């Protein structure tokens, strides 16, 4: 299974003390080099930087089709644009991303998506985390925004 991750999921799971879930669920993930720079270099000292830099199970790849990246930059940031193009180049089975516009692009091109909340719910179903509410509360405390309706739906889904 080829899994591509954008920065948001990496950062948010690190903030929620749940970064370990990624390796347990997916074994290996791939990130675009711009995502690595965003999280590790530009994010030095912040949540996610140490975790990503030290994760031997994360592969870093350059994106080749810069024309597609430039087109996507009209509506997305560089990390999201490169993650989407990388997903097409690598023929990814899944992209881990939270941003709504990036998810819409991926849905249009038919690549499956999973966000931070979906990852937490899957980890809970597989017994990797005991309390989804606690993990969601840590996410929110770390700056993750979730609509109250979706917060309650996620907690209900975990029961």
* Dihedral pair phi/psi, residue 32, rounded to 5°: -70, 150
Query: What is the per-residue pLDDT for 96?
Result: 98
Q: pTM for this one? A: 0.92
Query: What is the per-residue pLDDT for 26?
Result: 97
Mean pLDDT of the chain: 93
Question: Which residue range forms the structural domain that includes residue 83?
Answer: 3-158
What is d(CA 67, CA 73) in angstroms, rounded to the nearest whole number? 10
Query: What is the per-residue pLDDT for 111?
Result: 96
Which CATH number goes with the domain that contains 12?
3.40.50.1010
Query: What is the per-residue pLDDT for 118?
Result: 93
Number of domains in the chain: 1
Candidates 151, 43, 32, 52; CA nearest to 92 is: 32
Residues in the chain where the model's pLDDT stays below 50: none
Query: What is the per-residue pLDDT for 150?
Result: 87
Query: What is the per-residue pLDDT for 142?
Result: 81
3-state secondary structure of 106: helix
């Amino acid at each position: 299974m080829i899994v591509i991750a954008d920065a948001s999921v990496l950062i948010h799971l690190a903030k929620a003390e749940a970064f370990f879930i990624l390796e347990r669920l997916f074994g290996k993930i791939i990130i675009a080099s711009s995502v690595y720079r965003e999280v590790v270099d530009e994010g030095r000292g912040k949540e996610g930087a140490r975790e990503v830099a030290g994760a031997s199970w994360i592969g870093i790849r350059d994106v080749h089709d810069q024309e597609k990246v430039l087109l996507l930059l009209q509506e997305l940031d560089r990390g999201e644009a490169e993650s989407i193009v990388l997903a097409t180049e690598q023929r990814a089975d899944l992209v881990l991303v939270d941003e709504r516009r990036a998810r819409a692009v991926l849905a249009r091109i038919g690549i499956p998506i999973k966000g931070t909340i979906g990852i937490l719910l899957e980890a809970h179903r597989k017994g990797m985390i005991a309390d989804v509410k606690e993990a969601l509360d840590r996410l929110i405390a770390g700056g993750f925004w979730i609509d109250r309706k979706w917060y309650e739906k996620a907690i209900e889904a975990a029961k």
